[in-house]
Amino acid sequence: MSRVERKRVEKKSKKYFKICLFVQIILLIFALIAVDFEIRGMLGIDEYSLVGYKQLESGQYIVHIMGESHLVDMSKIQGQINKRFAEFGEVTYNIKKSIENKWQKVLQ
């Protein structure tokens, strides 16, 4: 087997390994959620499950992950997203203007 063929086989095996690892992790997560749901159903436990959420008020959620609760305020997240989009718009506008200026210099 030549060096090129060996590298190709090695690359292919790495790709399959990564895909298999990803699928196994996804299956593990789904299995944990299913087992947690069934055990809580059989034992009649109404506490928070492995993964879940609950809406409090408009724009606020409590996210439960493995027994810990986290408060998520969607208005803050939306504000940060809007801020990032505005910054991105300013950067693209500045790039567009600099390209137009350079293009005008080339044409003159």
Report yes or no on 38 lying in a domain.
Answer: yes
Report yes or no on 55 lying in a domain.
Answer: no
Q: DSSP alpha helices (H): ranges in 1-108?
A: 3-43, 74-107
Report yes or no on 51 lying in a domain.
Answer: no
Percent with pLDDT over 70 in the chain: 99
Q: How far is CA 53 from the centre of its chain?
A: 17
Cα–Cα distances (Å) from 82 to 6, 12, 61, 75, 87, in that order, read 49, 41, 20, 10, 9
Report yes or no on 52 lying in a domain.
Answer: no
The answer to whether 66 and 50 have CB atoms below 8 angstroms apart is yes
Percent with pLDDT over 90 in the chain: 44
Report yes or no on 104 lying in a domain.
Answer: no
If one counts the domains in the chain, the total is 1
- Residue 39 sits in which domain range? 1-46
Average pLDDT over residues 86-95: 92
